[in-house]
Amino acid sequence: MLNQRWRILRYETHPAKMNMAIDEAIAEMLNFNEASPTIRFYGWDPSAVSIGCFQNLEDEVDTEKCAALGIDIVRRRTGGGAVFHDKEGEITYSVICPETMADKDINAAYRQICGWIVNGLKMVDITAEFRPINDITVGGRKISGSAQTRRSGIFTQHGTILYTVDPDVMFTVLKVDKEKSDSKGTDKLSDLVTSVSKQSKASKNEVLAALVYAFAEGKDWYLGALSQDESARAEAIANERYGNDAWTRSR
């Protein structure tokens, strides 16, 4: 990546529609040269399910269970699979920058940023490996997944790192296709995933600090906050798109 000054945002939690809208608002402001390349780590409150932009909602999510459990549902603007974002158990990241600062090759960009996550996990004594296309695994089980988009010259990659996982809730709200779980060599859904807390004694804050360190390594950066314009734009995008049922149910 080019040597431009990065802004790292303080960890915050938001509802699902705001989390997705903040990424998009930052990308828009970057496109107008009104924001710095940004790395953000964040959480979800309430817990939520996000689905990839090409997924069929009803195929992937038990919407009635989500409603009963107070779990939000949001459709991302990135592809990839459905993700359960546990309020307590997950760290999510976004990397948003001009496309010129990211690897031109999509797979190489996944490899690069997933490499930062692998390095962060190594700092808390977890040996993880990048599994193309967009996953990170520990002992064959998924601990992190990412998705990437490039729009109007702006690169966005966001993804999750599982800190703790409750497979019962996760696989109650997510409908995992049997063909997919079979391809991973298991019929036990809980065998598909692992989490930091199963692999390390590090606290969530320690993991967060390790990830910030790994993402920032070799970069010129500063600790910043969203501008008022970014926050206002994010509110508008959240209401227009991510909180809009027509968008959520568009496939």
Partner 1 sequence: MPARRAQRKVPWGKLVRVDAVCEGRRFTSIQITGDFFVHPEEALANIERDLEEKALSGNEPDLERLIGAVIAVNDALLIGFGAKDIADLLREIKC
Residues that bind partner 1 (CB under 8 A): 52-56, 59, 77-82, 106-107, 132-134, 147-151, 177, 179-180, 182-183, 251
Comparing CB distances to partner 1, the nearer of 220 and 246 is 246
Q: Which of 62, 64, 100, 98 is nearest to 82 (CA)?
A: 62
Closest distance to partner 1 from the beta carbon of 114 (Å): 14
Identity of residue 166:
D
Tokens linked to 163 = 């800190």
Q: Which of 25, 158, 27 is nearest to 90 (CA)?
A: 158
Q: Containing H/E element for 74?
A: strand 72-75
Comparing CB distances to partner 1, the nearer of 90 and 135 is 135
Taking the C-alpha atoms of residue 48 and residue 87, their distance in angstroms, rounded to an integer, is 8
Comparing CB distances to partner 1, the nearer of 56 and 239 is 56
Closest distance to partner 1 from the beta carbon of 147 (Å): 7
Comparing CB distances to partner 1, the nearer of 88 and 182 is 182
Closest distance to partner 1 from the beta carbon of 97 (Å): 16
| CB-CB contact of 170 with 90 (8 Å) | no
Comparing CB distances to partner 1, the nearer of 5 and 151 is 151
Closest distance to partner 1 from the beta carbon of 16 (Å): 18
Q: Which of 49, 56, 51 is nearest to 72 (CA)?
A: 49
- Give the Cβ contact number of residue 2 at 10 Å: 9
Closest distance to partner 1 from the beta carbon of 126 (Å): 24
